[in-house]
Amino acid sequence: MLVREMDRQECNEFIARLAFGRLACSRENQPYIVPTYFAAEPDRIYGFATLGQKIEWMRSNPLVCIEADEVKTQNDWASVVVSGRFEEFPDTPEYAEQRRRAQAFLEKRGAWWQTAFGAAQTRSQFDRDIPVVYCIQIHKITGRKASRDPKS
Amino acid sequence: MLVREMDRQECNEFIARLAFGRLACSRENQPYIVPTYFAAEPDRIYGFATLGQKIEWMRSNPLVCIEADEVKTQNDWASVVVSGRFEEFPDTPEYAEQRRRAQAFLEKRGAWWQTAFGAAQTRSQFDRDIPVVYCIQIHKITGRKASRDPKS
């Protein structure tokens, strides 16, 4: 197997296409991972969730990591890792334009509200919870792609 | 969609069966995720890697998270999250028995060495690097399973 680095554009296209991955946040150096749907622009990633451990931890420490991968076989896979900073878009007039833009991107990938519902235990809890719209400002994005070694 | 908690035994069986997931480590509260193969016992998870960012970070902060999921559709998925502590099994006589046990578990899932090779950029780098065998002592394991809401 040979592994090569993906360039920035490849990484951006990869996460925009997958629109699904895992987000890690950290509190007192204990990391925590959750699978998450998202929508990606070249410099930021939009997400949506109901209140829970993930949102609470990102509010207390905004440094996060998002990873997306596609594993076809053990010799044919790609993985992109993003380091970034959580920023919440509260439902207030000053964030109205940013929320609108984030929601437009999230809606493009369809059924986006189901993601947030996944975090709620019951329908009544979902109705009661206030949805949180956020973005991750990308500080660093890297990717690696593996292919079969023709010499093997 | 309805979401329910998985019990401890379900969680253990799930990660043992998947033997693949994502590992997050953290340094100065910046989390970092990598996809990883592993082998799971009820109270610990074995892994194997060549030297790199993941091993360096786990050595400096042993608190880690492993997440494994199976997403069939947006309404039919399961996800298990493990919080634990990294422990390295150096290639020394006092760790010989622990390394042997870890390697036996890792070999059971087949082609386990390919995982470590995935971390190396070239074959010569792999040959040069010293493989690191480690285990994650499980402190907490939780899981959630979603199914379609019959009322929807």
Q: Which spans in B84-150 are helix H?
A: 96-108, 113-119, 123-128
C-alpha pair distances (Å), B131 with each of A12, B18, B119: 32, 23, 10
> Would you state the pLDDT for residue A123?
46
Q: Which residue in A31, A81, A83 is closest to B65 by CB distance?
A: A31
Dihedral (CA of A103, A106, A111, A116) sign: negative
Amino acid at B119: A
Mean pLDDT score across all residues of chain A: 87
Q: Locate the domains of chain A by residue range.
A: 2-144
pLDDT tens-digit readout, A95-143: 999 999 998 888 877 545 454 444 444 445 544 566 899 999 999 999 9
Please tell me which of the candidates A28, A65, A149 has its beta carbon nearest to residue B24. A65
Task: Decide which of 2.60.120.260, 2.30.110.10, 3.50.50.60, 2.120.10.30 is the CATH code for B2-147.
Answer: 2.30.110.10
Mutate to test the interface with A, among B29, B72, B141 (most CBs of A within 10 A): B29
* Segment B93-122 mean pLDDT: 71
Residue B86, amino acid: F
Alpha carbons A25 and A116: distance in angstroms, whole number: 17
**What pLDDT is stored for residue B110 in this prediction?**
59
The fold of A2-144 is Pnp Oxidase; Chain A (2.30.110)
CA distance B112 to chain A (A): 10
Which residue of B30, B142, B152 to mutate against A (max A Cβ within 10 Å)? B30
Amino acid sitting at position A99: R
Residue type, position B140, single letter? K
Joined together, the tokens standing for residue B113 give 């060495």
pLDDT, tens digit, 9 for 90 and up, residues B37-63: 899 999 999 998 888 899 999 999 999
CA dihedral B141, B142, B147, B149 (to 10 degrees): 170
What percent of chain B clears pLDDT 90, i.e. is strictly above it? 64
Over residues B108-120, the pLDDT tens digits come to 775 454 544 444 4
Degrees to nearest 5, angle at CA A112 with A109 and A118: 140
